[in-house]
Amino acid sequence: ARATIGLTGLATMGRNLARNIARNGHTIAVHNRTTARTTALLEEYGDEGDFVGCESLEELVAAIERPRAIVVMVKAGEATDAVVDELVPLLDADDIVVDAGNAHFADTLRRQEALAAHGLHFVGMGVSGGEEGALDGPSIMVGGSDHAYERLQPVVESIAALVDGTPCCAHVGPDGAGHFVKMVHNGIEYADMQLIAESYDLLRSVLGLAPAEVADVFEEWNGGDLESFLIEMTADVLRHVDHESGRPFVDVVVDAAEQKGTGRWTVQDALELGVPITGIAEATFARSLSGHTEQREAARAVFATEPVTLDVDRDTFVDQVRAALYASKVVAYAQGFDHIAAGAEAHDWDIDLGEVATIWRGGCIIRAQFLDRIREAYADEPDLTTLLTTAYFADAITDGVDAWREVVATAVRAGVPTPTFSSSLAYFDGLRREHLPAALIQALRDNFGAHTYARVDRDGTFHTRWAEDGRPEEQQDD
């Protein structure tokens, strides 16, 4: 046995992760169900580092120094269970199995318990950054025990992206915390992409800009507060011309967005926890709507109208959209961090939100300057009630709120759907409003279902005798 670590599952992500590990000087044993992938890795990239090719899981296990660490990088769900079940009988007490796939954190909790019964450690590890990140330095969100992390640390920190000399890798919390944080990361990514898409739609539809002109706008935005991987990539994609047709690339792509599930999981979990992550939810539903081709065709046939032309000044509107995008993005991230805080509380995970912002600054898809502001906010105030009220973000919202309203109003008049811009503004207005109509909701609930209400003028729980004299009676807690 001479490998420090092993990895099974050599599709693109697994292969790149293995190469990253080898390139950083760790001897790695590699395996794949179909041996052709293992052979291809060794042939093409074998000289990048010290690989030990293995044809079976038995060979893989035998190749690794004890106590072992084995990374599993196969499809989330049944495939992961199948591989883990196959591995367990081959392992010895104190070995670590790392699931680096996009597992649901509840599956990670379940697997950790199952492996603990065999004296094995199970670590759910969220890896973000796509294929390129896996190879050159992803952002890594590690769950599991302190003991397991201490052993994995030299390898995982060496392969992560670096920002200002700090690896984008952390032990974010125990058991399912790593996959939970990765899930919310992906949810935020949905919101971020939807906000970008709405901005693009507005610039194109309201101002009549061509994709390449919208690309120029995004490129300019990337020089400011909005600087991020996704904004930069948007400029590149919008500038891209399809080789076959010569048309703007965005115009040859079918406008039905797909999803693999992490956005849906995020929203489902937020509903359970009662956290209003409206940005992520609207972004997820916007993808669903785009895929409802038949309904869209039916609606277009009945409600098609001429596009509304509005008299809007180009430079002013571009700047307003930028402000709306930034403010909505602050809301989406504030909601995402609220979700992580609520998850940490519900599962008794001690998650350092500032640390999460720190490791998202590089390597992952949502990497951005912006995350350094979030890191600073939590450094100043670890128990922050909401990111929205920290000086930096509060100023950005205060300065941008008129533009934000104008953009949403313009979108409504032009008939351009901006669910994430609009709902983020509604969320902001909801939070800052002195009185919410929730009072009426409570009154209605008490009327039809005797659900009781609290009063503004004295403590207690009350029910009004609606059908009798209309007077309130205090309810006794029992």
**Which residue out of 59, 150, 157, 189 is catalytically annotated?**
189
Q: Which is nearer to ligand 2AM, 18 or 318 (CB)?
A: 18
Q: How far apart are CA 225 and CA 117, in angstroms?
A: 49
Interaction pattern, residues 36-55, with ligand 2AM; x per rule: CB under 6 A: -x------------------
Question: Taking CB under 6 A as the criterion, which residues in 19-38 touch ligand 2AM?
Answer: 32-34, 37
Nearest C-alpha neighbor of 185 from the set 177, 196, 175, 195: 177
Helix extents (H) in 349-437:
353-359, 370-380, 391-414, 419-432
Q: Does 11 bind ligand 2AM (CB under 6 A)?
A: yes
Binding segment toward ligand 2AM, per CB under 6 A, in 3-11, 216-224, 337-345, 362-370: 3-11
Q: DSSP secondary-structure letter at 165?
A: T
Cα separation, 332 vs 309, in Å, equals: 30
* Catalytic residue status for 329: no
Cβ distance to ligand 2AM smaller for residue 34 or 56: 34
| Min CB(261)–ligand 2AM separation in Å | 15
Confirm or deny that 186 is annotated as ligand binding. yes
Q: Show the site string, 64-93: x = touches ligand 2AM by CB under 6 A, - = not.
A: ----------xx---x--xx----------
Q: Is 329 annotated as a binding residue?
A: no
Q: Which of 5, 7, 10, 403 binds ligand 2AM (CB under 6 A)?
A: 10
Please say which residue, 9 or 143, places its beta carbon nearer to ligand 2AM.
9
Residue 334's CB is within 10 A of a number of other CB atoms, namely 25
In 89-188, DSSP assigns E strands to 96-99, 121-128, 139-142, 162-163, 166-167, 169-171
Q: Is 215 annotated as a binding residue?
A: no
How far lies 419's CA from each of 269, 294, 398, in Å? 21, 21, 21
Q: How far is the CB of 450 from ligand 2AM (least distance, A)?
A: 54
Is residue 31 a contact partner of residue 60, using CB atoms and an 8 Å limit?
A: yes
List of residues 6+ apart from 436 with CB closer than 8 A: 430
Query: Which H or E run includes 283?
Result: helix 278-291
Q: Match 């209309």 to its residue by tokens.
A: 470
- Among residues 104 and 329, whose Cβ is nearest to ligand 2AM? 104
Q: How far is the CB of 101 from ligand 2AM (least distance, A)?
A: 8
59 is catalytic: no
User: Do residues 372 and 361 lie in contact, with contact meaning Cβ atoms separated by under 8 Å?
Assistant: yes
Annotation-wise, does 16 bind a ligand? no
75 is in an annotated binding site: yes
Helices (H), 240-277: 262-273
Of the candidate spans 5-13, 156-164, 170-178, 370-378, the one that interacts with ligand 2AM by CB under 6 A turns out to be 5-13
Size of the site for ligand 2AM (CB under 6 A): 13
How many DSSP H helices and E strands does the chain contain?
A: 19, 12
Residue 241: strand pairing partners: 248
Q: Which is nearer to ligand 2AM, 32 or 284 (CB)?
A: 32
Q: Which stretch binds ligand 2AM (CB under 6 A): 9-17, 160-168, 252-260, 277-285?
A: 9-17
Closest CA to 199 of 315, 324, 309: 324
Distances (CA, A) of 350 to 53, 284, 346, 377: 39, 28, 10, 18
Which residues are marked as active site? 182, 189
Binding-site residues for NADP(+): 9-14, 32-34, 74-76, 102
Binding-site residues for substrate: 102, 128-130, 185-186, 190, 260, 287, 445, 451
Q: Which residues bind to ligand 2AM, rule: CB under 6 A? A: 9-11, 14, 32-34, 37, 74-75, 79, 82-83
